C-alpha cells in the first residue's frame, strides 16, 4: 500500500430539508484513505453510510466540507466536472446491481468502457466476464441471470475501466453465503492486482474483517475502530490503522 492519499475528507456535513425541519445526516466526517487500501464502513441502518459513499463518489454534493479524490478537490467542481472525474477514476457497485435490463451481460460490461472511449471494449468485457466465471452467460439479459450472477456482472462492469477508487454499497447484501464468498474473493483479488482503492459498506462482519481497516458510522459520525472486535472477541485489531481526527 502506498502513502499517496486516495480520499481525504474534512468536516463533511450533509443536511437535508424535511417536513420536520432540517435533518443532519452526516455530522462532520473526517477521513483519510490511502491509495490501494481496503476500507469497510459498518454501522446501523439509517446511520448515513450510503449517503457518505454517494458523496465520496461525487454522485451527490455535501452541505459543507471538503473531499479530495485522487488529488482532485470536488468542492468547486460543477456537475460536468464531477461526471468527467467519475468516468475517469471511480466505479460504484450498487446494492441493487443497477444493470441495464435491455442489454445482455456482455453489453452491460462493455457500456462504461465504450463511454470512456476505451479500445477493444468487447474483448475486455469478455475477458472480465470470463474472470468472474460468466463466460457461459455473455448473452443472457439481467432477468435471465441469478442474483449472484447479476452481482458478478456488476463487478465486472465496475472493474473494466480500471478505476482508481471502487465504492461498493453492500456488494454481498443480496447473496447467499457461497456467492458472498465468491464475490468478496473477486473484489479483493481485483483490488490487489490493479491497486484499486476499495471502500465498501457492509453489514457482513466476515467481509469487513477482510478489509485492512474498519470504520464505524453512528448517527452521522464516523470513527475508526475495530468495529468487528466489539462483536467478536477473536478478531484482531486491523493492521495499518490510520487515525480519524475528531471533528
Ligand X SMILES: Nc1ncnc2c1ncn2[C@@H]1O[C@H](COP(=O)(O)OP(=O)(O)OP(=O)(O)O)[C@@H](O)[C@H]1O
Nearer to ligand X, 121 or 183 (CB): 183
- Smallest gap, in angstroms, from Cβ of residue 169 to Mg ion? 6
- Smallest gap, in angstroms, from Cβ of residue 23 to Mg ion? 16
172 binds Mg ion (CB under 5 A): no
d(CA 69, CA 86): 10
Interacting residue ranges for ligand X, rule: CB under 6 A: 16, 18, 23, 25, 43, 45-51
- Smallest gap, in angstroms, from Cβ of residue 18 to Mg ion? 18
- The full 3-state SS of the chain, as one line of letters, equals CCCCEEEEEEEEEEEEEECCEEEEEEEEEEEEEECCCEEEEECCCCCCHHHHHHHHCCCCCCCEEEEEECCEECCCCCHHHHHHHHHHHEEEECCCCCCCCCCCHHHHHHHHHHHCCCCCHHHHHHHHHHHCCCHHHCCCCHHHCCHHHHHHHHHHHHHCCCCCEEEEECCCCCCCHHHHHHHHHHHHHHHHHHCCEEEEECCCHHHHHHCCEEEEEECCEEEECCHHHHHCCCCCCCCCCCCCCCC
d(CA 197, CA 45): 24
91 binds Mg ion (CB under 5 A): no
Q: Which of 30, 38, 50, 91 binds Mg ion (CB under 5 A)?
A: 50
- Smallest gap, in angstroms, from Cβ of residue 55 to Mg ion? 13
47 binds Mg ion (CB under 5 A): no
Which partner from the list ligand X, Mg ion, none does 147 bind, CB cut-off 5 to 8 Å by kind? Answer: none
Which partner from the list Mg ion, ligand X, none does 73 bind, CB cut-off 5 to 8 Å by kind? Answer: none
Q: Quick one: cell of 6?
A: 486516495
Binding segment for Mg ion (CB under 5 A), chosen from 7-15, 47-55, 74-82, 96-104, is 47-55
202 binds Mg ion (CB under 5 A): no
- Smallest gap, in angstroms, from Cβ of residue 101 to ligand X? 23
- Smallest gap, in angstroms, from Cβ of residue 151 to Mg ion? 16
Nearer to ligand X, 17 or 178 (CB): 17
Which partner from the list ligand X, Mg ion, none does 98 bind, CB cut-off 5 to 8 Å by kind? Answer: none
Binding segment for Mg ion (CB under 5 A), chosen from 43-51, 80-88, 181-189, 228-236, is 43-51
C-alpha of 99 from chain center: 16
Nearer to ligand X, 79 or 101 (CB): 79
Strand 197-201 to 72-73 pairing: unpaired
- What are the residues binding Mg ion (CB under 5 A)? 50
Amino acid at each position: 500500500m502506498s502513502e499517496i492519499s486516495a480520499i481525504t475528507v474534512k468536516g463533511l456535513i450533509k443536511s437535508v430539508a424535511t417536513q420536520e425541519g432540517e435533518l443532519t445526516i452526516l455530522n462532520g466526517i473526517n477521513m483519510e484513505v490511502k491509495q490501494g487500501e481496503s476500507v469497510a464502513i459498518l454501522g446501523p441502518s439509517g446511520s448515513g453510510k450510503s449517503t457518505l459513499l454517494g458523496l465520496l463518489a461525487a454522485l451527490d454534493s455535501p452541505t459543507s466540507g471538503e473531499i479530495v479524490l485522487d488529488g482532485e478537490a470536488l468542492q468547486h467542481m460543477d456537475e460536468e466536472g464531477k461526471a468527467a472525474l467519475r468516468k475517469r477514476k471511480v466505479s460504484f457497485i450498487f446494492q441493487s446491481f443497477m444493470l441495464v435490463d435491455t442489454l445482455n451481460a456482455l453489453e452491460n460490461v462493455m457500456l462504461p468502457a465504450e463511454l470512456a472511449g476505451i479500445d477493444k471494449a468487447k474483448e475486455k468485457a469478455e475477458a472480465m466476464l470470463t474472470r468472474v466465471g460468466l463466460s457461459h452467460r455473455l448473452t443472457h439479459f439481467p432477468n435471465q441471470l441469478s442474483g449472484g450472477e447479476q452481482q458478478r456482472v456488476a463487478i465486472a462492469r465496475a472493474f473494466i475501466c480500471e478505476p482508481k477508487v471502487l465504492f461498493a454499497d453492500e456488494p454481498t447484501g443480496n447473496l447467499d453465503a457461497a456467492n458472498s464468498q465468491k464475490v468478496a474473493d473477486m473484489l479483493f483479488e481485483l483490488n490487489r492486482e490493479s491497486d484499486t482503492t476499495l471502500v465498501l459498506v457492509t453489514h457482513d462482519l466476515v467481509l469487513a474483517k477482510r478489509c485492512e481497516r474498519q470504520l464505524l458510522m453512528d448517527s452521522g459520525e464516523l470513527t475508526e475502530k475495530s468495529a468487528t472486535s466489539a462483536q467478536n472477541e477473536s478478531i484482531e485489531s486491523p493492521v495499518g490503522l490510520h487515525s480519524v481526527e475528531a471533528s
